[in-house]
Amino acid sequence: MTLALELAFWLAVGLLLYAQFGYPLLLLALARLRRSGAVSPPVPAEQPPSVSLIVSAYNEQAVVAAKVANALALDHPRERLEVIVCCDGCTDRTAELARDAGADLVLELPRGGKVRAQDAGVARAGGELLAFSDANAFWEPDALRALLAPFADRRVGYVCGQVRFVGSGGTNQEGLYWRYEMALRELESRLASVTAGNGAIYATRASSYIEVDAVMGHDLCFPFNMVKRGWRAVYAPGARATERMVPTIEGEFARKRRMMSHAWPIVVRGGMLSPRGYGPLYALMIVSHRLLRYASPLLHLVVLAASVALAARSPVYLGALLSQVALLAAAALGGRIRARPLLLARYYVLTTAALAAGLWDWLRRGTPAGWEPAEGTR
């Protein structure tokens, strides 16, 4: 029994350390070994491609006019840009304000969720390329040009850009984590394909667009499905957007919990677990960046349980137990004291717990297709 506990402890510790630190180091090493395999800069097309920019919105009257104005100000020929706002059962003035702001097409749809609103926009889109954004995400003037550039490579079916969070005066520490995530995404893109995107700024070819289950968001579902269909899914760091951050760690927990209630169906029944269509390197990326990350609450529980059982047998296990107690205590204090180390501890504990809470929500009551804007992000 003792041997089994020790094996479980060291295996769980090893997997946690690999997922957080070993995997980035592995990507860095592989990137240095494969410099010659980097994608060459694409050759610009003689004529800019036609693009439909699709914004799905649910009661976004506070930001939709500014979003349409932001889209129309992008550095792309106006005659080659179509702005479509898909109102998902809006009960406010979103549709009216989007039309007044100059959107080319405003669809007033019954409430069906973000994915079905996007599908409706795609069905009416005329562009050869399809770009997508959230109503509260504002793109830099050259963002669309940078986002579309990788499509000069015919192997590319999906491109995501970079989101920068603003309004960081609260307690949320998401900005630090997101910079880490973007660094991983850039390495994955250089080596093979990204394992996830984001809803604020991304694009696909009209021919590569996939209709997925209404509860399975594009952010996680599109990249690996593109790879399975023979496309590359890449990251364009020059395509930059800004979005207001959820102001508090507790709000970030709620946001991630909701996101994970949509992510777990993709993991369990959406095809991510099937290696069919993956190359060896991309399969390793999926396991390392997605599956181990999502399994981290379970791995932490294994480490905690084994530490409790083995603490009296060795100073190593006692030290591990005390370290975990210290982390939890720091996270608890972070709810009262706004000190950066305590806030980071609280952020890590709550966002890790959100992975498990999202799974619990999905198993207990399923996942609704509709969504509500995160508090404080408009």
- Residue 224: inside a domain, yes or no? yes
- Residue 27: inside a domain, yes or no? no
Look over the chain and give the mean of its residue pLDDT values, rounded to a whole number: 93
- Residue 124: inside a domain, yes or no? yes
Q: How far apart are CA 3 and CA 5, in angstroms?
A: 5
- Residue 172: inside a domain, yes or no? yes
Statement: residue 367 has pLDDT above 80: yes
- Residue 1: inside a domain, yes or no? no
Q: Which comes out higher in pLDDT, residue 13 or 165?
A: 13
Q: How many domains does the chain have?
A: 1
Residue 151 banded pLDDT, cuts 50, 70, 90: very high
The mean pLDDT value for 319-347 works out to 95
Range of the domain at 92: 51-259
- Residue 40: inside a domain, yes or no? no
What CATH number corresponds to the domain at position 82?
3.90.550.10
How distant, in Å, are the alpha carbons of 143, 157, 194, 223, 311 from that of 160?
Answer: 11, 11, 9, 9, 46
Over the stretch 207-235, which tens digit does the pLDDT of each residue have? 999 999 999 999 999 999 999 999 999 99
Residue 377 banded pLDDT, cuts 50, 70, 90: low
- CB count, 10 Å around CB of 319? 12
How high is the pLDDT of residue 173?
87
Statement: residue 133 has pLDDT above 70: yes
Cβ partners under 8 Å of residue 46, min gap 6: none
- Residue 280: inside a domain, yes or no? no
Nearest alpha-carbon partner for 234 in 24, 42, 60? 42
The predicted model scores a pTM of 0.92
- Residue 134: inside a domain, yes or no? yes
Q: Edge-to-edge, what's the strand order for the sheet holding 137-139?
A: 105-109, 81-88, 51-57, 129-134, 202-205, 156-166, 232-244, 137-139
How high is the pLDDT of residue 170?
81
Statement: residue 42 has pLDDT above 70: no
Statement: residue 43 has pLDDT above 60: no
How distant, in Å, are the alpha carbons of 112, 193, 223, 339, 367 from that of 282?
Answer: 33, 7, 11, 39, 28
Over the stretch 103-130, which tens digit does the pLDDT of each residue have? 999 999 999 999 999 999 999 999 999 9
